[in-house]
Chain A
Amino acid sequence: MAADGGSSSLQLPCVFSPKSRQFLALCAQDGRLRIWNTDSKTLHQEYVPSAHLSATCTCIAWGPCRTVKEGPQRKKRKSEAVQVEEKADLLAMGTAAGTVLIYSTAKGALHCTLDGAHSGGVNCVQWHPEESLLYSGSDDTNIVEWDLQTGKTRSKWKADRAAVTSLCVSPDGKLLLSAGHIIKMWDLDTKEVYRKFTGHSTAVTTLRFATTRPPDSNGLYFLSGAAHDRLLSVWQVREDGKDKNSVVSFTLTDEPQHIDLVTSNSKEEAVRLAVVCKDGQLHLFEHFLNGPCKKPLSPSCTVQMSDTKESPMPIPLLAAVLGADTRTVMLAYGSRLQPVMEKVEINTAERHVCLARDVQTTLSLSMETTVSKVKTPIVNAKSKVLVPGLPGHKAPLKGTSQGSEKRKKDTDTKEMSIAERLGEIDLSTVSEKGASKGTASLQTDNFAVLLVQGLESNDASILNKVFLTRKEMVIKKTVARLPLSAVLPLVEELTKRLQGHPFTAVLMVRWLKAVLMHHTSYLASLPDLVTQLGALYHMIESRVKMFHKLTKLQGKLYLLMTQMATSDSSNVVSDVDHTAKLVYEDESSDEDEASGDEGLPDEDSDHWEEDEAMTEDNQEESEDEDPDSRTESKANGEEDMEHENESEEE
């Protein structure tokens, strides 16, 4: 069955499709439902519920697979009955507004909405394994049984004094577990309480049947996990009804977030369990269920994931499902907006496994593909034909899909943290390739808001990030959008920063110029302009005082360095062909170097090579730091010139 980890309102649902695990349905923070294909690791579909902001999706459950081989084909809808696929199709989503949406992945659209029965938010939905029934539990303490053939409620009953937070239908479809704080087992035929289990002090978030045996054989077990609880409890449904306490408990490191288990059909078969906790770790258990066990069981294997940076940070796992054999596990990890899916072989002999993955690269890769994947359904020519013909049905469909695609791009940029956004600006090439249209990165063309925040709270880290921008356009736009009240604080801050090292101060001058240009009229109209900008003026004046002398020094240095370069280059030339000629010609000007040449020609040439290498290094450095190093190139030019001159002379 589909895993239903996220039934508590705090957690965002994240569910693999049953059987083949072909899809991962995931509801992200922005309220959109995304369905990822686990084989191609791309975004398969995206659906934005019309009320995705007000009524967020609280839980998801995949409907049972509808396959030809699986005996009697259930007919949910007449239209769909013909189209037989071996695929998980329907998806039930419970929302905070109390409605249940049925989404069809085959159609890629909303199939129907079930509403009118709940007055509170829906906490959990569960499909009946055989009949086309759906159960939903809600904050209004009721459980509703929906008939999907009619789309109406079949029955509704009060289940608990508190909200119903979790549900589970037994594999044979005869029993239903529900839980608020107390776990109740209902007989689905009579809708009467069959058993009660107490023990959890907080809301139960997870319920799962662990065995598939009938309830009166002492062999039916189920497990439960509760909010803020670091234990998974296993309960035995005993024949004599003396099932007061849990029989086994599994210890975890945090609250369980997603559970997958392989049920056991006989006593000889162990239950295998994969639990992803809230702290992003995966725990694997294997246990034979046969009666009580006093000690809490610790996991047979714990899996963590980290990135490949120098100081590794943990990557949270979102969900995990067990594969057919004991070692393979399908993992989903990373951000909810762009999860990465991967099939992993885990060496269960080791107690603790840490996987290192480079999420950054995988993320950007998946983003490129997602964009392309999302586009394909839009470019279908059908919509053109059908829009006039069926305005009621198809037109909104097309509208939503397009809208969703556009909005999705926006959120991709919006959802990123400030640091990521800044990072994107620096490495703009990657993002522009990914977005390809250039419209997506419009969000990051100015820092006005960030700058104002930084100035208001005097936050050094924000200011540093903003001021180290090198893009002229970004600076201009930021300054242009700056509110007038922030102009003077900005000038003050720039004054402070102008006093530093020229490498960084040059960047500040750009900002200052932009401010002076964009806000000329405002600044000029200030009555106390002189006092406001006086400090800046004096600072600049005092710094510029040495301009004269420094230029002179530069001239001197320039001369010496070029002399050195020429002497070295001439050395090489001389080494290659004619030593004597050059000595004669340069005698008058470079006596020192010439004499040095004569004395130690080999040593000098050695020096030259090193020097040349160093100058090159230096040039590279400076080019890295400053894209337009005009003087450097000039120097090179001069060297070239001199080469030519000498050759002419020769």
Chain B
Amino acid sequence: MASFKPTKIQVYPKLGEKVTQDTLYWKNYKAPVQIKEFGAVTSIDFSPVTPHNFAVTAFTRIHIYGPFSQEPVKSFTRFKDTAYCGRFRSDGQLLVAGCEDSVVRLFDVSGKVALRLFKGHTKAVHLTDFTSDRYQILTGSDDYTCRLWDIPNATELTTYREHTDYIRCGVTSKLNRDLFITGSYDHTVKLFDARVEKSVITMDHGQPVESVLLYPSEGLLVSAGGRHVKVWDLLKGGQPLVSLKNHHKTVTSLALSSNGQRLLSASLDRHVKVYNTTNYKVVHNFDYAASILSLGLAPDDESIVVGMTNSILSIKHRKKQEDSKEIAGQQRRRPSYRVFVKGKNYVPKQDDYLVCKPVKEHLAKYDKQLRTFDVSKALDTALGTYIRFRKPEITVAVIKELDRRGTLKNALAGRDERGLSQLLNFIIGNLVDARFTPVLVTAAEMILDIYKSVIGQSPVVDRQLLRLQDLVEREIDFQKELLEVLGMLDTMFASSLPRKEVPCSGIGRSNGLTQGEPSTSKPQLQVT
């Protein structure tokens, strides 16, 4: 006896955006928490030690937020003017920040007053960082110099005067205490070695450099400036590897996802883009409300923190595993059932004749109804609210199956006003979907055949029929236009080999159009 074959739901290719692993990963964040700061948020830095607090530099203050607090855990307000670039030391104990008044301040994270003041710069200090030995500080300023300072006695060790414009960004090596990199508005990124007291490598970015970032391996360097993000190979002496241009305004901030697989760039054009670091393609895109000045990513991508020009700090936390626990719970039931099946790990020997346990087939409700030839009810089930809206492909598959069996007419017939309007609604909603058109057109024709005698009796159905008519009309107009385009494309394909004729005809046609003939369709029809 041939067993019942369940309706085959065709898997159609999805329209529009592809759902990749990346989009799933980056969409798995909660709704953002937004905090109003006192001014534009210029810098965000995560503490390297748990619980990974982050320092937010905005206007004349630095606030430190805990991983889940919406109120600052700590705030440093002893700045005379706008503060810049608050950064944690690698042990998370100290914080350094520059200021518009050219003084660099060093804070204890638990204290309030600055432990040390480093005076020497003559203009605003936009770059501060600790070297990897923890005892020195790197600063870069608008007076074109960058300096190294000794923390214990607050003295200046060296001054580098190689840049010819503002120094606005920089980073120290985490592996070597003598290496550091600065980016300047003179379009260059320079790698300095404190042992030789001058720059070792100079890379020309081409635009004022706004942000630099080192890969954890420190073999690759990323610089952002203007609309470009560039990747440089330091081991090959600063050879440019990749140049990315995916923003339409200046890129202001860079971050690396914690495993180094994804690069994030934030820009004044209100987007954060996520790049794959193997092929440097954009894999995801975040939109924000205002121009972004700073971007921070917590370790393990637990949260994305973005600071904007409208002084709003937006924090997105990753959804916890608990949120999807229900699904996990459902999956867990299966093994507990199998415990009852004894001798499961018995391995059959060669001579054994294996009798398979008949697998109980799980049938969907509409399949069960189809099995009992309850065609009308099966269609009703397939038109249920959930399926109709969420999985129209199932409804369509059932209609198709009914059509194959030749019972579609029966299923469609005998409906009251409500049932019919529901059906028509579905058809109107999905008719133009190219995947469903063939099936639904048949169904629509059948509906018209069946119900033509009662048309005009129900205002609801009549209205829907009018809508359907309007829709079909539009679709046909659209397809007519498409056919015209197809003709144009044909001409183009055909003439792309002998190249001489096409440009002439093309120019002639476009000229004729731009000279102001209002009816665009005529010349195209000649083409088709």
Contact indicator B478/A506 (Cβ below 8 Å)? yes
- Bound: A560/B465 CA distance, A: 9
20 more CB-based (< 8 A) A-B contacts, given A509-B478, A525-B499: A228-B59, A461-B287, A499-B434, A502-B432, A513-B520, A520-B502, A520-B503, A520-B507, A536-B489, A546-B437, A556-B445, A557-B468, A560-B448, A564-B462, A596-B456, A611-B456, A614-B463, A615-B466, A626-B474, A631-B473
A462 to B: closest C-beta gap in Å: 8
Query: Which among A513, A525, A546, A607 is the interface contact of B441 at CB below 8 angstroms?
Result: A546
Chain A residue contacts of B270, Cβ below 8 A: 459
- Bound: A53/B50 CA distance, A: 50
Contact indicator B510/A517 (Cβ below 8 Å)? yes
23 contacts between A and B (CB under 8 A): A456-B247, A459-B269, A459-B270, A476-B514, A496-B16, A502-B474, A509-B482, A520-B506, A521-B503, A524-B496, A525-B503, A529-B496, A540-B482, A540-B485, A543-B434, A544-B479, A546-B479, A550-B441, A563-B455, A568-B456, A596-B457, A611-B463, A618-B466
* Residue B154, interface by CB 8 Å: no
Contact indicator B247/A564 (Cβ below 8 Å)? no
- In the complex, how many residue pairs between chain A and chain B have their CB atoms under 8 Å apart? 199
B400 to A: closest C-beta gap in Å: 15
- Bound: A506/B477 CA distance, A: 8
Q: With A549-B441, A611-B456 known to touch, is A456 a contact of B481 (CB < 8 Å)?
A: no
B residues near A (Cβ < 8 Å) are: 15-16, 59-60, 80, 227, 245-249, 267, 269-271, 273, 282, 285, 287, 432, 434, 437-438, 441-442, 444-445, 448, 452-453, 455-457, 459, 462-463, 465-479, 481-486, 488-489, 492-493, 495-496, 499, 502-503, 505-507, 509-510, 513-514, 520, 524
Q: Which residue of B lies closest to A497 (CB)?
A: B16
* Residue A533, interface by CB 8 Å: yes
* Residue A288, interface by CB 8 Å: no
A422 to B: closest C-beta gap in Å: 17
B252 to A: closest C-beta gap in Å: 14
* Residue A381, interface by CB 8 Å: no
Contact indicator A550/B472 (Cβ below 8 Å)? yes
Q: With A459-B269, A502-B432, A524-B492 known to touch, is A509 a contact of B485 (CB < 8 Å)?
A: yes
Chain A residue contacts of B227, Cβ below 8 A: 456
Chain B residue contacts of A516, Cβ below 8 A: 485, 488-489, 492
* Residue A157, interface by CB 8 Å: no
* Residue A287, interface by CB 8 Å: no
Chain A residue contacts of B463, Cβ below 8 A: 611, 614, 618
* Residue A194, interface by CB 8 Å: no
Contact indicator A521/B482 (Cβ below 8 Å)? no
Query: Which among B15, B502, B509, B514 is the interface contact of A524 at CB below 8 angstroms?
Result: B502
- Bound: A458/B246 CA distance, A: 8
Contact indicator A524/B499 (Cβ below 8 Å)? yes
Chain B residue contacts of A517, Cβ below 8 A: 488, 506, 509-510, 513
Contact indicator B486/A544 (Cβ below 8 Å)? yes
- Bound: A500/B509 CA distance, A: 29
Chain A residue contacts of B470, Cβ below 8 A: 618, 622
Chain A residue contacts of B247, Cβ below 8 A: 456-457
Contact indicator B434/A561 (Cβ below 8 Å)? no
Interface SS of A by simple majority: helix
* Residue A73, interface by CB 8 Å: no
Q: Restricting to A440-495, which residues have a CB under 8 Å from any CB of B?
A: 452-454, 456-461, 472, 476, 480
A240 to B: closest C-beta gap in Å: 32
B200 to A: closest C-beta gap in Å: 34
Chain B residue contacts of A529, Cβ below 8 A: 492-493, 496
Chain B residue contacts of A611, Cβ below 8 A: 456, 459, 462-463
Contact indicator B495/A561 (Cβ below 8 Å)? no
A558 to B: closest C-beta gap in Å: 7
Q: Restricting to A267-289, which residues have a CB under 8 Å from any CB of B?
A: none
A residues near B (Cβ < 8 Å) are: 201, 228, 452-454, 456-461, 472, 476, 480, 496, 498-499, 501-503, 505-506, 509, 512-513, 516-518, 520-521, 523-526, 529-530, 533, 536-537, 540-544, 546-547, 549-554, 556-558, 560-561, 563-564, 567-568, 592-593, 596, 604, 607, 610-611, 614-615, 618, 622, 626, 631
Contact indicator A506/B282 (Cβ below 8 Å)? no
Contact indicator A201/B80 (Cβ below 8 Å)? yes
Cβ-closest 10 pairs across A and B: A520-B506, A453-B248, A521-B503, A524-B502, A502-B478, A502-B474, A509-B481, A557-B469, A457-B248, A610-B459
- Bound: A92/B150 CA distance, A: 51
Chain B residue contacts of A546, Cβ below 8 A: 434, 437-438, 441, 479
- Bound: A547/B480 CA distance, A: 8
- Bound: A426/B474 CA distance, A: 23
Chain B residue contacts of A505, Cβ below 8 A: 478
- Bound: A530/B492 CA distance, A: 9
Q: With A512-B485, A611-B459 known to touch, is A554 a contact of B469 (CB < 8 Å)?
A: yes
Chain B residue contacts of A568, Cβ below 8 A: 456
Contact indicator A592/B453 (Cβ below 8 Å)? yes
Chain B residue contacts of A523, Cβ below 8 A: 492
- Bound: A339/B281 CA distance, A: 47
Q: With A513-B524, A615-B466, A618-B467 known to touch, is A501 a contact of B457 (CB < 8 Å)?
A: no
Chain A residue contacts of B492, Cβ below 8 A: 516, 520, 523-524, 529, 533
Contact indicator A564/B479 (Cβ below 8 Å)? no
- Bound: A592/B454 CA distance, A: 8
Q: With A520-B510, A607-B459, A611-B459 known to touch, is A499 a contact of B16 (CB < 8 Å)?
A: yes
Q: Which residue of B lies closest to A506 (CB)?
A: B478
Chain B residue contacts of A513, Cβ below 8 A: 481, 484-485, 488, 520, 524
A120 to B: closest C-beta gap in Å: 16
Contact indicator B481/A553 (Cβ below 8 Å)? no
Q: Which residue of B lies closest to A512 (CB)?
A: B485
Q: With A516-B488, A537-B486 known to touch, is A556 a contact of B479 (CB < 8 Å)?
A: no
- Bound: A596/B457 CA distance, A: 9
Q: With A524-B496, A556-B445, A560-B448 known to touch, is A549 a contact of B482 (CB < 8 Å)?
A: no
Q: With A228-B60, A503-B474 known to touch, is A558 a contact of B469 (CB < 8 Å)?
A: yes
B232 to A: closest C-beta gap in Å: 22
Q: With A506-B477, A554-B473, A615-B466 known to touch, is A457 a contact of B506 (CB < 8 Å)?
A: no
Contact indicator A553/B478 (Cβ below 8 Å)? no
Chain B residue contacts of A552, Cβ below 8 A: 445
Q: Which residue of A lies closest to B449 (CB)?
A: A556
- Bound: A52/B514 CA distance, A: 41
- Bound: A550/B246 CA distance, A: 41
B394 to A: closest C-beta gap in Å: 21
- Bound: A170/B493 CA distance, A: 83
- Bound: A549/B448 CA distance, A: 14
- Bound: A523/B214 CA distance, A: 41
- Bound: A614/B488 CA distance, A: 39
Q: Which residue of A lies closest to B245 (CB)?
A: A456
- Bound: A428/B269 CA distance, A: 27
- Bound: A536/B490 CA distance, A: 12
- Bound: A509/B478 CA distance, A: 8
Q: Which residue of A lies closest to B459 (CB)?
A: A610
Contact indicator B471/A502 (Cβ below 8 Å)? yes
Chain B residue contacts of A459, Cβ below 8 A: 248, 269-271, 287
B27 to A: closest C-beta gap in Å: 15
Contact indicator A506/B474 (Cβ below 8 Å)? yes
Chain B residue contacts of A618, Cβ below 8 A: 463, 466-467, 470
B22 to A: closest C-beta gap in Å: 14
- Bound: A125/B484 CA distance, A: 69
- Bound: A523/B493 CA distance, A: 10
Contact indicator B441/A553 (Cβ below 8 Å)? yes
B482 to A: closest C-beta gap in Å: 5
Chain A residue contacts of B448, Cβ below 8 A: 553, 556-557, 560
B38 to A: closest C-beta gap in Å: 8
- Bound: A558/B486 CA distance, A: 27
Chain A residue contacts of B474, Cβ below 8 A: 502-503, 506, 626
- Bound: A509/B438 CA distance, A: 22
Contact indicator A547/B472 (Cβ below 8 Å)? no
